[in-house]
Chains A and B, each alone.
Chain A
Amino acid sequence: MASIASSLDPILAGYGHDPTALLQILRDAQEVFDWISPEVRAAIAGTLGVPTARIDSLTQFYAHLYDTPRGRYRILFSDNITDRMAGSVALMDHMLTRLKLERGKLSADGVVSVDFTSCTGMCDQGPALLVNNRPVTRLTPRRIDEICDLIRALTPLDEWPADFFMVQDHIRRADMLLGAAYRRGDATRAAVARGAQAMLDEMKRSNLRGRGGAGFTTAVKWETCRDAPGEERFIICNADEGEPGTFKDRVLLQSFSERVFEGMAIAALVTGARRGFLYLRGEYSYLRAPLEAKLAEMRRENLLGEKICGAEGFDFDIAIHLGAGAYVCGEETALIESLEGKPGKPRIRPPFPATHGYLGFPTVVNNVETLCKATEVALIGGASYAGQGTKQSTGTKILSVSGDCERPGLYEYPFGVSIAQVLEDCGAQNPGAVQVGGAAGNCLTPAEFGRRIAFEDQPTAGALMVFGSQRDMIEAARNFARFFAHESCGFCTPCRVGTSLVADMVDKIAAGRGALYETMDLQRLHDILRRSSHCGLGQTAMLALGDMMQKFRPAFERRLTSRDFEPGFDLDAALARARELAGRDDAAAHLGADI
């Protein structure tokens, strides 16, 4: 069809007909066509010269790409436990009733669909939803009504009230990073003045460790990349902030993005990279335009581009790539696969990206916050930087606090702060549990609130979800179990099958059909997933559940049946269809409970 070709051509040309940009092309195509129809798929495949199966591999992998029509308005409710605690389920039901819809089904007129998606990173201002990838926060029944009216009137998204799409920063405690005075370019100029080797030495002195969760020493990563053989090098900023309960990177990119870009430039100076990517999670695509504008400004001021700050040979520029709804892409090798236009399935490590990364070239992958911290090291020097925090965890850490507290938002503390201190500052009145590090983290009880946020004690990428003592922890357990079953990439069997088994078993226990047998089986699965999963997703998928089952045992045990075993489904109902067809209702046509 002519119309398809005429709409696709500028998109394809914009990416230079490059098959490694396939994910970006599909995202842009979906913006135009609302879904990737077989015709659109054929047109893209034909022009790029890739098999259609390659396109299917992406539409089937990424949650936010659609190979069936999902309507002009695609509503996705954020399904983190914090959204649920704030009432998201009732709000979704309200919307479904108003629109006369079933969850996940396209409306009869083909206009709208409503479904859940994994945490969208708006936990401090939930419940939240995405409409065509644009966030609407602080939902209320009234706001839902307004949205339904706008959809019924077929109002284009650009004409919706702008305040619907307001996303707040909520910086509650600022320290070295969030509170410092900032002048664009100072950090890059300071790094250039120091020189590449001296900058690396300062990084070593700072002992800055990665803020994405693993805590790998940044200087070692940079040095490995610099020394690895390769014609090209790349700097990737990992802004695929998918961990439920984490939203610090969103704020950093919304209000502190120049620091992120400067951090990338400094990494480029040290390693000799000439190209960089910001891998932005699809849920944050509303940030793309402002980020592109910032990049353009920085290019004009010679903070990016050729001969940055006048330094001969310091050429570096940054491109933004968008994800499309896949938690696993936060894993650095999955992220690189995704950048290359493939499904985000983690690679086997080693080799690590520092030596074999993007397109096989040495690549640094750093978290958003880590790159911001690198600018501090450039400005104040490594020794001065190392003065804050603890011995093995230098500097400050930004925590994303959400859940049952009066002041959810960002809290920046020097490393070593106790959980109790954070809880006091955020106004958590009666905390019964804190989930540290997102769904893949640990669940702590009040007896452990004396523990400290640091790599020596309780490491975290920064998520703190507070559960009031009135909360039923089995709801959190179910939410996390479903999350991992949904987000498992399917590459390795222990994780693909294991996470689904776990989710089913937790549901069964929650429904009162679980026996001691299931709790023992969960423990067995915990061991299997931890030891035999391919990547961190499977290895950590049961961490929180394990904690909850141990520390909140009664929440599980009071639901257990005293019987030996109970089926997870209604056996008699399973005969209903055959009964109906055979026209029988005699005693033998029923299955009673096992005696």
Chain B
Amino acid sequence: MDVGTAPKKVKIATATLGGCFGCHMSLLDIDERLLELVQLVEFDRSPITDIKHCGPCDIGLIEGALCNAENVHVLREFRANCKFLVAVGACAINGGLPAQRNRFDVGDILQKVYSDTPDGRSRVPNDPELPLLLDKVYPIHDVVRIDYFIPGCPPSGDALWKFLNDLIGGRTPRLDYPQFHFD
């Protein structure tokens, strides 16, 4: 292909907040279609590239819920840089598994977790390097505007593939029933 006439590649950034990387694994699960995908897109910040901060992008894919202050910073960086921001998977959309802690007081949780010390006294770490936990786990649309939501735990590779193809092709993304039918 002549480099001069190659269409401009779409820039994608991806990140996992409070999630299990399962949604990212699903992205890898599109298998050999990855080769087709890299013809169309270029990855900015993502576990795939290990770039630490994202620049201006077309599409941002966010996996996972908001559990701590750092999650909020990452999410804000994505919102500031991405034309379309997409909530991928159950945790990003609803809080998912991490949100199971929401019925407990976060202070009680911290004390319980850090009470296993030799003298039995609770020592919650205070290193500024460590992001502080939010009182509750929040879905990402509680904190920034989200343009699209892809349901699933995780969404299937096919669903992600279909979604990205639609979005890049200029069509309103549409997932039909078989694409989020899991049993």
Contacts and interface: CB of A to CB of B under 8 A. Distances in A.
Nearest to B73: A591
Nearest to B145: A565
Interface stretch (B25-33, B45-53, B135-143): B135-143
B144 to A, nearest CB: 6
A404 B142 CA distance: 38
Given A515-B145, A517-B145, A575 B135 contact: yes
B69 A575 contact: yes
B110 A594 contact: no
Nearest to A584: B126
A577 B72 contact: no
Interface in B121-156: 124-126, 128, 130-136, 138, 142-145
B105 interface: yes
A584 B131 CA distance: 11
B41 interface: no
B49 to A, nearest CB: 25
B39 interface: no
B135 A582 contact: no
A571 B143 contact: yes
A568 interface: yes
Contacts of A571: 72, 134, 143
Contact of A578 (B134, B142, B145): B134
Nearest to B111: A581
Contacts, number: 63
Given A582-B124, A582-B125, A589 B132 contact: yes
Interface in A555-595: 564-565, 567-569, 571, 573-584, 586, 588-589, 591, 594
A569 B142 contact: yes
A513 to B, nearest CB: 11
B134 A594 contact: no
Residue among A515, A575, A578 with max Cβ neighbours from chain B (10 Å): A578
B15 to A, nearest CB: 17
B174 to A, nearest CB: 15
A571 B138 CA distance: 10
Contact of A567 (B69, B107, B110, B143): B143
A574 B67 CA distance: 10
Q: Is the interface of B mostly helix, strand, loop or mixed?
A: mixed
Contacts of A581: 107, 110-111, 124
B76 A594 contact: yes
Contact of B69 (A569, A573, A588): A588
B40 interface: no
A154 B125 CA distance: 53
A582 B124 CA distance: 5
Given A571-B72, A591-B69, A578 B144 contact: no
B106 interface: yes
A578 B132 contact: yes
Nearest to A588: B128
Contacts of A586: 128
Given A567-B142, A569-B142, A574 B135 contact: yes
Given A575-B132, A591-B72, A582 B126 contact: yes
A564 B110 contact: no
B128 A577 contact: no
Interface in A497-520: 515, 517
B34 to A, nearest CB: 33
A579 B142 contact: no
Contacts of B76: 594
B24 to A, nearest CB: 25
A578 B132 CA distance: 6
B115 to A, nearest CB: 12
Interface string B92-136: 000000000000011100110000000000001110101111111
A594 B76 CA distance: 7
B132 to A, nearest CB: 4
Instruction: Identify the interface centre among A571, A579, A586: most chain B CB within 10 Å of its CB.
Output: A571
B144 A584 contact: no
A22 to B, nearest CB: 31
Most buried by A among B132, B135, B144: B132
Given A575-B69, A578-B106, A589 B128 contact: yes
A580 B134 CA distance: 12
Nearest to A582: B126
A594 B144 contact: yes
A15 B16 CA distance: 60
Nearest to A594: B76
A577 B142 contact: no
A583 B72 contact: no
A515 B128 CA distance: 34
A569 B79 CA distance: 18
Contacts of A583: 124, 126
A565 B69 contact: no
Contacts of B133: 575, 578
Contacts of A594: 76, 79, 144
A584 B142 contact: no
Given A571-B72, A575-B69, A588-B69, A582 B145 contact: no
A280 B138 CA distance: 43
A584 B128 contact: yes
Contact of A577 (B69, B107, B145): B107
Contacts of A578: 106-107, 110, 132-135
A582 B132 contact: yes
Interface in B74-95: 76, 79
Contacts of B107: 577-578, 580-581
A325 to B, nearest CB: 26
Given A575-B69, A589-B132, 8 more contacts: A517-B145, A574-B138, A578-B133, A578-B134, A580-B107, A586-B128, A588-B131, A594-B79
19 contacts: A515-B145, A517-B145, A565-B144, A567-B143, A569-B142, A571-B134, A573-B135, A574-B134, A575-B69, A575-B135, A577-B107, A582-B125, A584-B128, A584-B132, A588-B128, A588-B131, A589-B69, A591-B69, A591-B72
Interface of B: 69, 72, 76, 79, 105-107, 110-111, 124-126, 128, 130-136, 138, 142-145
